[in-house]
Chain A
């Protein structure tokens, strides 16, 4: 990726070789032939506080101008300004602090107003070092460097990690052990009142840890339990221990039994319909961790801290490493609810013999909506995370999708609700001219024929728009075998198949069967 960096000091050394740079505090030239932009202005070195402050405020105006000039479909990464950037007299002045915080507030606002803008807080990086290490006057005077060039390696690592996080690569589910992991002590031996949770240390540390995990689950991470215990004991402890923060309803599902954990974890993944590579396993027992590392190498297994007081640091590490996201979408927040509603739905299914009657009873409401400012982040996220029901498994970022829309692609997403709950936006289709580039659905809504209703509706829309025939393809991956014959089932003819199993399809819309069962209530927005 070639990014162009706006800057006011010498910073070339901190970024990859292929990046290009503006002149010092120069916004007169904004190149178009780059993949994205970075804005990295550092605290200017000046003694006159008034000039200094107005210069900082001026930077904010320049940024806002630049944002109006660049392609809104390209990523624009902004770094904050560190008011403690260098150790000089006067820099602790209240005026300077407020100028910098005004500047940073403008950045936060810019992120809120522009979907392509992502804000990174430089202080998260710089506060790991003493000021004298972050800023070295020698390099300021010889090269106008606002940050010590010796930090370039850790800075580039930090920056690269942040870019990865922005690209939405994260895990979905945390599998937690119980004894000595979620609380201190062993439930089977110490009893409900005897386990260490709440009260004095170490119980207090476990209590904080559970609160932290609860917050994590609110951001859309699924919590599950895999523990060697008697299930009845645990259910009782969840209900009766007054300090228990994480209870039955906070876990999407669990395996509390004496079966080996590898088997249990495989079952958990199957039940939740997510890949093993979406799981992070947390257990205090090194033998269990080793077992999972060996038998299920795709599961992430972090080392567990030796002392309970290290849990807050451990929590921060796992969040940063596996679960950090930039904008938590409202879909994320509802996820645990949805996984639970699915379990209820599966039970309802058993009492119907006739599947059509079952579907009819669900009162399925499908909303099809064209891509817009609000759902593009969710669409990008789905292309990144959906593995199983995904015909081509092409991964896109927000910026990619916005540029497709500009190029005239037709992109729709689907929301599905039924009497058990609203699944939110759970699928999308992207059509470039007469070719289906991407078609995917979240596993949460499968098993109800929604995929067929969705594609038929889209084909009808294309037909109304004068499209005569539609092309599509299936690209096999390790995980999408279930959709191998999807287009065949929809009436497409397979026109080619190559040695890797990639298939090309075509469908004449004139003769296609586009009838949709009446019990899908489709609402087009």
Chain B
């Protein structure tokens, strides 16, 4: 959540945050997001997973499969 907030320069962030609602979440933002998530959670995301990651809920779902 903090990552999304800093990355996309948002004032507030909640679970409904997604690529559709967030102006700065473009392809460059997506790349930055991947790097931050990989560093923070020590995981390697596959390109397919990165493609699917379009909202906060997607991120949580994918990270759960990784960390578990």
Interface residues of A (CB under 8 A from B): 10, 12-13, 138-139, 141-143, 145, 149-150, 152
Q: Mark B22-49, 1 if CB is under 8 A from A, else 0.
A: 0000011001101100110000100100
Task: Evaluate contact between B39 and A143: CB separation under 8 angstroms.
Answer: no
Contact A150 B47, CB 8 Å, known A12-B28, A13-B28, A143-B27: no
Which residue of chain B is the closest to A12 with respect to CB atoms?
A: B28
Chain B residues near A152 (CB-CB < 8 A): 35
Interface residues of B (CB under 8 A from A): 27-28, 31-32, 34-35, 38-39, 44, 47, 50
Task: Evaluate contact between A149 and B31: CB separation under 8 angstroms.
Answer: yes
Task: Evaluate contact between B35 and A138: CB separation under 8 angstroms.
Answer: no
Chain A residues near B35 (CB-CB < 8 A): 13, 149-150, 152
How close is A292's CB to chain B, nearest CB, in angstroms?
A: 40
Distance A141 CA – B47 CA, assembled complex (angstroms)? 8
Chain A residues near B31 (CB-CB < 8 A): 10, 13, 139, 142-143, 145, 149
How close is A156's CB to chain B, nearest CB, in angstroms?
A: 13
Q: Can you pick out 20 interface pairs between chain A and chain B where the beta carbons lie within 8 Å of each other? A: A10-B28, A10-B31, A12-B28, A13-B32, A13-B35, A138-B44, A138-B47, A139-B31, A141-B47, A142-B31, A142-B47, A143-B27, A143-B31, A149-B32, A149-B34, A149-B35, A150-B35, A150-B38, A150-B39, A152-B35
Given A13-B31, A149-B32; 9 other pairs, CB 8 A cutoff: A10-B28, A10-B31, A13-B35, A138-B44, A138-B47, A142-B31, A143-B31, A149-B31, A150-B35
Q: Is the interface of B mostly helix, strand, loop or mixed?
A: helix
How close is B33's CB to chain A, nearest CB, in angstroms?
A: 11
Distance A142 CA – B38 CA, assembled complex (angstroms)? 15
Which residue of chain A is the closest to B39 with respect to CB atoms?
A: A150
| Top 8 A-B pairs, shortest CB-CB distance | A149-B35, A143-B31, A142-B47, A12-B28, A150-B35, A142-B50, A149-B31, A13-B32
Chain B residues near A143 (CB-CB < 8 A): 27, 31
Which residue of chain A is the closest to B28 with respect to CB atoms?
A: A12
Chain A residues near B27 (CB-CB < 8 A): 143
Chain A residues near B28 (CB-CB < 8 A): 10, 12-13
Which residue of chain B is the closest to A151 with respect to CB atoms?
A: B35
Which residue of chain A is the closest to B31 with respect to CB atoms?
A: A143
Chain B residues near A150 (CB-CB < 8 A): 35, 38-39
Chain B residues near A141 (CB-CB < 8 A): 47
Which residue of chain B is the closest to A143 with respect to CB atoms?
A: B31
Which residue of chain A is the closest to B32 with respect to CB atoms?
A: A13
Distance A319 CA – B58 CA, assembled complex (angstroms)? 50
